[in-house]
Structure formats: C-alpha cells, structure tokens
Structure 1
Amino acid sequence: MKILVTGAAGFIGSHCAERLHHMGHEVVGADNFSPYYDQNLKHKNAKDLKDAGIPITRIDLREPGDFSKLKDDFDYIFHFAGQPGIAATSSFEDYLWNNLVATKNLIDFALTCTQLKLFINISTSSIYGLHATLSEESAPAPASFYGVTKLAGEQLVLSKSREKRIKTCSLRLFSVYGPRERPEKLYTKLIGCGFFNQEFPLFKGSEEHVRSFTYVGDIIDGVVSVIGNEEKVDGQIINMGSENEHTTGEGIAIVEELLDTQIRKNTTPKRQGDQMFTKANIDKARKLLNYNPNTTLKEGLKKQVAWYRKAFVD
C-alpha cells in the first residue's frame, strides 16, 4: 500500500511513518518544518526517516498549490500535522490555519485520490475539555483554541464519511510521551533539566494533574491497526491511550529515580486551558481494533531517557 503521513518529521508522525515502512508499505512523508520548535530536531527526524528509505516532501498544507508536489495515488492518508498544544506564543490564527484550513485543504486533495481506502485524522483528548474521561459519544467541551480547532478539523474530516465521499475516522490520542517527544513537552524538558542541572518550570498546581500517559509505541500499535478495518472504523471517533492514570508528580518522581537526581523546580503561573484530569476510555478501540496498550510509565520513561542520553548527552 502507498501511504501519506503528514507531520512526518514530528514526534508521533515520525514513529508512525517508521512503523508503516517496517510493515512493508510505501510511505511518503509530508512536513512544513514549522519553526514552532527547533527545526534541527525535525531535520534530524527527517534524516533518520530518509536513511530508512522514507522520503519527506516539504509541503505547507495551508497552501493549496503545494499539493502539486504529491501524486494522487495514495491508499491511506494519516494526518498528524497541525498546531500542537497550548502555548502563549501561538495565536488563534495559528491554530485556525494549521488545524482547520490545512485539514480542509488536505481533504480536498484526498478527494482526488481515487484509490483512497481511508483518511485517518489524528485528534486529541483536549476535545473533551478540562476533564477528559468520557466515551466518544459524550458531548465535547474544549477549553482552548487548540481543542476547539482540532474539534472543527475532526468534524470536517468525518463529514466526508457522512457524505459518502471517502471513508474517514478520527483517533483521539491521550498524553503521548516517548523518544522524540517535543522539547517543550513535560518529559523531554524534565529529562533535559535533570541531565544538565537546569531548573524545571512547573506550572502551579500541575503536580496534581492526572494523565493517561501513553507510550508512543502503544499509540502507534493502535493507529496502524485501522489498516484493513476500513468498514469497522468508517465515520468513527476512537479514543486511544492508556487506562492507567498517573499524576504529573508521580511522573516527575520516576524520572528523578531513573536519573538518580533531584531536579530543581521553579513554580510558574497556572496555564490557561490545561487539562486537570484525563483517563482514556478505550472500550471502543478494544472492541473494534483489539487495542491493548501495555507499556508501564516507568518502562516508557526508561526508553525516553535512553533516547535523550544518546541524542543530546553522549
């Protein structure tokens, strides 16, 4: 099968592209190498993929003309690209253009792919709002520009299933961590502070936040399992994450144990729109896709520490 992966130079997208390639598929990556964070990290991911035989084309999904760089012969499209997270440096327009307009343009391209079997939209638990513990049938209540625009993009994608134009699904991911995690995310930043004896900025109250921290390998198990299950997942929203929840404080303690150090912390003001509690309800994923994440937080963080050491310390 020929598969397009958008956001392929990013954290989860790069892992997905690698897995699909190892499964024997022809994978084409697309990324605009946004300066949201250090582009050198994305270029490093891209080089690793290229060395493995996975080309990445520089494409800005916000620009309809850029799609001329792609052929229209894809069997699957995995859409990871977007404006991530909750950041004071990102404007509403950033989220609007990267999560909604870009998705609309990609859908328009997908409609030209006559052999397309499934369009897989990668979404987020932030759609549920501050307490993400509900099933897919629950009413969304996003509390950030990120969550609002991801919900809108998700509905654009799923509308094509309702119109019977193409088969689509949307996977809502919960608190993914692991090797290649973005530098501003919790564990990469925390591990870096531990290695280099730097102060870790801790949002006020965040140590008590509860998360379904999910190892990236377990997430990719679920993401790629949609292949061959087009009829089952068409038009569906599916949660993917760990059912085991941990506080941020527990995660910090595990990293300190793995590094055998006490990380210095600096409490910063509370972040608006940050989720208080997430716990993935994965009953539907189990039923439809036999999804069963099983990596413990300590096992996953051990792998992330080893990756960070090799990439930035040794």
Structure 2
Amino acid sequence: MKIVVTGAVGFIGSHVAERLHSLGHDVIGLDNFNDYYNLDLKKLNAKVLTEKGMRIVKKDLRDSNFNDDLPKDVDYIFHFAAQPGISQTSTFEDYFTNNIIATKNLIDYAYSCENLKLFVNIGTSSIYGMEATFTEDIAPKPASHYGVTKLAAEQLVLQKSREKQMKACSLRLYSVIGPRERPEKMYTKLITLGLRDKPFPLFEGSDKHLRSFTYVGDIVDGVVSVIGNETKVDGEIINLGTEVEHTTKEGIEAVEKVLGKTIQLHIIPKRPGDQLRTKANIDKARKLLNYNPKTTLLEAVEKQVEWYKANFSN
C-alpha cells in the first residue's frame, strides 16, 4: 500500500510512519519542519526514517499547491500535522492556519487520489474540554484554541464521510508519552532537567491533574489497526489511550525512580485551558479495532529515558 503520513518527523507521526514501513508499506512522509521546537529533534527523526528507506518531503500543507508533485495513487492518508498543544507563544492564526486551513487543503488533495481507501484524521482528547473522560458521542466543549481548531479540523474530515465523498475517521489520542516526545512536553522536560539537576517548572495545582499517560507504541498499535477496517471505522470518532489514570505527581515520581534522583520543582502560575482530567474511554476502540494498550507508566518512562540518554545526554 502507498501511504501518506503528514507531520511525519514529529513525535507520534514518526513512530506511525516507521511502523507502517516495517509492515511493508510504501510511506511518503510530509512535514514542514517548522521551528515550533528545536529542529534538531525533527532532523534526528527524519534521519531515522530516511535511513530505513522512507521518503521525507518538506511540504507546508497551508500552501494550496503543496500537492503539485505528490503521487495520486495513494491508498491511505494519516494526518498528524498540526499546531500542537497549549502554548502562550502560539497565536490563534497559528492554530487556525495549521489545523484548519492545512486540513482543508489536505482534503482537497485526497479528492485527487481516486483509489484512496481511508483518510485518518488524528484528533485529540483536548476536543472534549477541561475533562476528557467521555464516550465519543458526548458534545465536545474545547477550552483552548488548540481544542477548538482540532475539533473544526475533525469535522471537516468527517463531513466528507457524511457526504459519501470518501471514507474517513478521526482518532482522538490521549496524553501520549515515550521516545521522541517534544522538548516542551512534560516527560522530556522532566528527564532533561532531572539529569541536569535543574528545577522543573510545575503549573500551580497541576500535580493533582489526572492523565491517561499512554505509551506511544500502544497508540501506534491503535492507529495502524484501522488498515483493513475501513468500513467499520468510516465516519467514526474513536478514542485511543489507556484507561489507567495517573496524577502528574505520580508521573514525576516515575521519572525520579528511573533516574534515581529527586527532581526539584519550581511552582509557576496556572496555564489557561489546561485539562484537569483525561481518562480514555476505549470501549469503541476495543469493539471496532480489538484495541488493548498494555504498557505501564513505569515501562513507558524507562523507554523514554533510555532513548533520551542515547541521543541527548552527552
């Protein structure tokens, strides 16, 4: 199968591209290599993928002509590219153009792929709002520009399924952790600062926040399982994550255990729009995809620390 993966040198997109390639698929990875975070990590991910024989193409989905030289005999599109997370340095225009305009342009490209079997949108638990503990049919209440624009992107994709113009689904991911996690995310930052004996900036009260910290490998299992299940998942929103909850404090303690040292904490003001609780309800994923994440928090942290030390501890 020929598969396009957008955001292919990002955290989760790179893992999915790698898995698809290992399954024998012809993977074309798209990424705009923006500088939202240190480009060295994206270049490292790109190097891993290209050395395994994948094609990585620098493209910005916001450009209406981004698809001029892309193949039209594509079987699947996995859409990871987005303006991620809740960041005070990102403007509403950043979220709007990267999450909505880019998705619309990608849908237009999908129309030109006559043999397309499925368009897979990658959504987020942030769509639910301050608490994300619900089934997929609950009315979403996003509380950030990120959540609002990801919801809009999701609906743009699902609209095409409702109109019977193409098969499409959206996978809402929960608090993904593991190797290649972005530098500003909690676990990479904890590991970095812990190894350097520097204090970790903790948002006030967030130590009590509950999260479905899900190992990236378990997320990849769910994402790639849509292949061959196009009819089952068409038009569906599906949660992917672990049902096991941990507080942020427990996450910090897991990193401390793996590193064998105590991490100093520096309390900073609360972050607007930050979710209080995420707990993935995966009944639908189990039913449709036989989804069953198994990696524990400690196992995930051990793998992330091992990756970090191998690449950045010098």
TM-score (norm 2): 0.99
Measure, in 1, the Cα distance between the counterparts of 2:245 and 2:23. 30
2:179 maps to a residue whose letter is P
CA deviation string 1:43-64 (max 9, x = no partner): 1100110001111000000001
2:18 maps to a residue whose letter is E
Residue in structure 1 matched with residue 136 of structure 2 by the alignment: 136
Residue in structure 2 matched with residue 210 of structure 1 by the alignment: 210
Measure how far apart 1:69 and its partner are. Answer: 2.7
Measure how far apart 1:251 and its partner are. Answer: 0.5
Secondary structure of the structure 2 residue equivalent to 1:94: helix
2:15 maps to 1:7: no
Residue in structure 2 matched with residue 125 of structure 1 by the alignment: 125
Residue in structure 1 matched with residue 22 of structure 2 by the alignment: 22
CA deviation string 1:131-166 (max 9, x = no partner): 100000000000000000000000000000011110
Measure, in 1, the Cα distance between the counterparts of 2:18 and 2:41. 16
Give the stretch that moved more between structures: 195-204 or 172-181: 195-204
Alignment of 1:233-244 (within 5 A): 233-244=233-244
Residue in structure 1 matched with residue 60 of structure 2 by the alignment: 60
Measure, in 1, the Cα distance between the counterparts of 2:307 and 2:200. 19
Measure how far apart 1:72 and its partner are. Answer: 1.0
Measure, in 1, the Cα distance between the counterparts of 2:48 and 2:69. 22
Measure, in 2, the Cα distance between the counterparts of 1:6 and 1:287. 27
Alignment of 1:142-221 (within 5 A): 142-221=142-221
Measure, in 1, the Cα distance between the counterparts of 2:269 and 2:132. 22
What is the alpha-carbon root mean square deviation over aligned residues?
0.5
CA deviation string 1:232-275 (max 9, x = no partner): 00000000000000000001001001101111111111000000
Measure, in 1, the Cα distance between the counterparts of 2:133 and 2:103. 26
Secondary structure of the structure 2 residue equivalent to 1:159: helix
Secondary structure of the structure 1 residue equivalent to 2:142: coil
2:68 maps to 1:99: no
Measure, in 1, the Cα distance between the counterparts of 2:40 and 2:312. 12
Aligned length: 314
Residue in structure 2 matched with residue 248 of structure 1 by the alignment: 248
Residue in structure 1 matched with residue 231 of structure 2 by the alignment: 231
Alignment of 1:284-299 (within 5 A): 284-299=284-299
Residue in structure 2 matched with residue 110 of structure 1 by the alignment: 110
The sequence identity of aligned pairs, in percent, is: 65
Residue in structure 1 matched with residue 80 of structure 2 by the alignment: 80
Measure, in 1, the Cα distance between the counterparts of 2:198 and 2:105. 42
Residue in structure 1 matched with residue 273 of structure 2 by the alignment: 273
Residue in structure 1 matched with residue 307 of structure 2 by the alignment: 307
2:218 maps to a residue whose letter is D
Measure, in 1, the Cα distance between the counterparts of 2:81 and 2:249. 30
Q: Any stretches of 5+ residues in structure 2 without a counterpart?
A: none
